[in-house]
Structure 1
């Protein structure tokens, strides 16, 4: 299998899974057991193609998050969203810098991913079944204490298989956001979180990249952007009529199947 075909397949997996609460990192780790590049490039590829998915968020929500001017009064809601995203990302930046490398070394394996898929699925179903009143119906109205707590809960996603979007959605719903607001905030919070992660990976590894590596990264980047854009549109339409529970059941089934494959075959 050529590197370009691998890049396309992994880009599709990333685009589909980044914003659904099913763990893109977990799916990529599992996929890397069958389709992968050289280890150091695989680690960077998995992070950098997430940037393509993140740019799809910026494009899809461009009217909500790109100000027409720097006048705060004219673009109050947009700046309110960015301020909240900036506050929400602080815990991930601090804890990621402190423990990211250690967790990547110790926990990035199929057993941990599968276990967290099951646990996260159970939690997602339990939280979404609870009938609780919603205090927040717009990201721009969320108070900063709530935003910071959601950002702290998001850090659970440092354990692969947890899912950054699932952790953010669960945290937001637990703290009073409705489904739509929880999903939107998971998108907005992903922007600074994943740009920081991708930028760090590029700075760390860019010197070792050759023209072929850049082509492979570029293909994966474009594929993940296109697929993620379609998935965002699907999810925002889906949650208007459905709960997140189906994603929880998917996580549980996938996790059990992988654990059975690991220990029985």
Structure 2
């Protein structure tokens, strides 16, 4: 297997493993570029587009939920309309702020030290929030108040700093507002769909020429897409069961360990 194809497969695995875990897929992809020694700039568009493979995994695993919501919208069911409204409200802050700060966000993508520090700080934040949890008031996505959904959306924007983790910010924001662990995780999955679709569309429009003339082409994207999809299917199934029983502390300790190791390595180079 040549080194280029191996990089494609490895990045697909990293994306599928980390997209829905509170450990930052973007941060891991940035650190992977430093560790493996490939040109991160050439793979930036690839890394964003293969996120759609992970998003498709959510659609496949939760197709009944989406089908019920779609049929409920046609039947003018209040719960279905509320479900969509909650997701749109939570998505709105990242859409507005992401567009406004797009160039600043891209600058941070080339700073692996920011990723390492964010991993550590995020891990500590998860431990603090987990320790503060007492009781949960909301046990279904469509029961989350609109004001809380908007608040979670603003908290999600912290993930524009690479290493913070979109899923981590969303889940911790939901937990701090009284959403139970399983529902918080599933809400993060559902919110990923409009968020990642928006980010991918923007990246494809902006860098469409790179996929036809650059070092990374559509065939590479296809392989990465399939790999991230398969891996994400497995991860989502295991993740929901794990956090329902054991919480998020193990991911926090992983973040702290990985961030510390990465920071030491980056400073010692």
User: Same fold, TM exceeding 0.5?
Assistant: yes
The one of 247, 258, 261 aligned to 2:265: 261
The match for 2:117 is 115
- Map 1:170-189; keep pairs closer than 5 Å: 170-189=172-191
CA contact (8 A) 2:158 2:169 kept: yes
Q: Take 1:168 and 1:57, find their aligned partners in 2: how far apart are those partners? A: 16
The match for 1:20 is 21
The one of 137, 158, 161 aligned to 2:139: 137
Offset of residue 103 of structure 1 = 2.4
Q: Take 1:142 and 1:175, find their aligned partners in 2: how far apart are those partners? A: 9
The one of 209, 218, 222 aligned to 2:222: 218
* Structure 1 unaligned regions, length at least 5: none
The match for 2:47 is 46
**Structure 1, residues 190-210: CA drift from partner, whole Å, max 9, x if none?**
000000001111111223323
3-state SS of 1:33 partner: helix
Q: CA RMSD in A?
A: 1.8
Residues 108 and 80 of structure 1: CA distance in aligned 2, closer, same or farther (over 3 Å)? farther
Which segment drifts farther, 232-241 or 204-213? 204-213
TM value normalised by structure 1 = 0.94
Q: Take 1:240 and 1:39, find their aligned partners in 2: how far apart are those partners? A: 36
3-state SS of 2:134 partner: coil
Q: Take 1:208 and 1:24, find their aligned partners in 2: how far apart are those partners? A: 22
Which segment drifts farther, 26-35 or 146-155? 26-35
**Structure 1, residues 212-254: CA drift from partner, whole Å, max 9, x if none?**
7000000000100110011000001112211100000000000
Q: Take 1:100 and 1:94, find their aligned partners in 2: how far apart are those partners? A: 10
Which segment drifts farther, 63-72 or 192-201? 63-72
**Structure 1, residues 12-32: CA drift from partner, whole Å, max 9, x if none?**
000000000000000000001
Residues 161 and 39 of structure 1: CA distance in aligned 2, closer, same or farther (over 3 Å)? closer
- Map 1:87-106; keep pairs closer than 5 Å: 87-106=89-108
Q: Take 1:32 and 1:210, find their aligned partners in 2: how far apart are those partners? A: 22
Residues 136 and 3 of structure 1: CA distance in aligned 2, closer, same or farther (over 3 Å)? same
3-state SS of 1:181 partner: helix
Residues 242 and 260 of structure 1: CA distance in aligned 2, closer, same or farther (over 3 Å)? same
Q: Take 2:91 and 2:247, find their aligned partners in 1: how far apart are those partners? A: 26
Q: 4+ runs of 1 displaced by more than 6 Å?
A: none
Name the count of aligned residue pairs: 265
Offset of residue 95 of structure 1 = 0.5
TM value normalised by structure 2 = 0.93
Which segment drifts farther, 97-106 or 41-50? 97-106
Q: Take 1:33 and 1:77, find their aligned partners in 2: how far apart are those partners? A: 46
